[in-house]
Amino acid sequence: DAKTTQPPSMDCAEGRAANLPCNHSTISGNEYVYWYRQIHSQGPQYIIHGLKNNETNEMASLIITEDRKSSTLILPHATLRDTAVYYCIVRGFNDYKLSFGAGTTVTVRA
Amino acid sequence: DGGITQSPKYLFRKEGQNVTLSCEQNLNHDAMYWYRQDPGQGLRLIYYSQIVNDFQKGDIAEGYSVSREKKESFPLTVTSAQKNPTAFYLCASSSYSPSSTEAFFGQGTRLTVV
C-alpha cells in the first residue's frame, strides 16, 4: 500500500547538489512528507519532514510543490558519506502505521 | 543516553526453533515498530504498537508474534511458522507530540536460521 513513488537509484558527484524526487499524488490534507536515509547495515535516520511549506535544516532542504503531489529532497553539497538509501514517506499526524517503500539508492561519486 | 537498544546484534538459530528479538527504548515513546529487511530491499512492517497492551499487524505479520507489556519494551518472536526467517530486523519507536513525530531506529539484529 505504498503511498509514494521514488526512482530506484541515482548517482551524484561529490560536492554537487543531489535532488531526490518523490511522488505522492494521493496525499491528503493532514499528511506529512517525511524523509529518512539508511546507510548500509544501519538503522534508518530521520532527515526532515514537512506539511506544505518548504523546510530546511542542517542536513537537507525539502521542497514541496504547491499541490503537494510531489516533493524534492535536496542535499546541498553531497559527500561520499551521503551514499545511502533514501526513503520518502507520507504519514498523517495521528497515523501510527509507518510503512516504508523501496527508497532511492543514492551513490555519491568522487 | 536516550535511544533504542536491540539485542543481540547477530543471532543464529536452528530451523524449527522459535527465537525472540529484544527491543528496548528509554525515549518515553508511545509507539513502537518492527521491520524486516532482506538484502537489497526496503523495510517491511511486521507489527506495530500504539500503546501498552495493544498492537496491530503490519504488512507481513505471518509467522511473527509480539507483546507490549511495558512501554519501554516490544519483543518480537520469530516462530517456526515463518518460512524464511533469515533477515535483518529493525525496531523503531516514535512519539506523537506536536514538536517531534519522527521515528528513531535501533541498530538492528541480523538473524540467521540454519
pLDDT single digits (tens) A20-67: 999 999 998 888 899 999 998 889 999 999 999 899 999 999 999 999
Query: What is the pLDDT, as a whole number, of residue A91?
Result: 85
Model confidence over B9-20: pLDDT tens digits? 999 999 999 999
Is B28 strand, coil or helix?
coil
Higher pLDDT, B70 or B99: B70
Report chain A's mean pLDDT, rounded to a whole number: 92
- Residues A97, B56 contacting (CB under 8 angstroms): yes
Query: What is the pLDDT, as a whole number, of residue A3?
Result: 85
What does the block give as the cell for B79?
Answer: 516462530
Return d(Cα A63, Cα A70) in angstroms, integer: 9
Q: Is the minimum CB–CB distance between A40 and chain B shorter than 8 Å?
A: no
Tell me which of B25, B29, B30, B43 to substitute to probe the interface with A (most A C-beta atoms closer than 10 Å).
B43
Interface contact B58-A97, CB threshold 8 A: yes
- Which of left, alpha, beta for A15 (phi over 0: left; psi -120 to 50: alpha)? left
pLDDT at B99 over 60: no
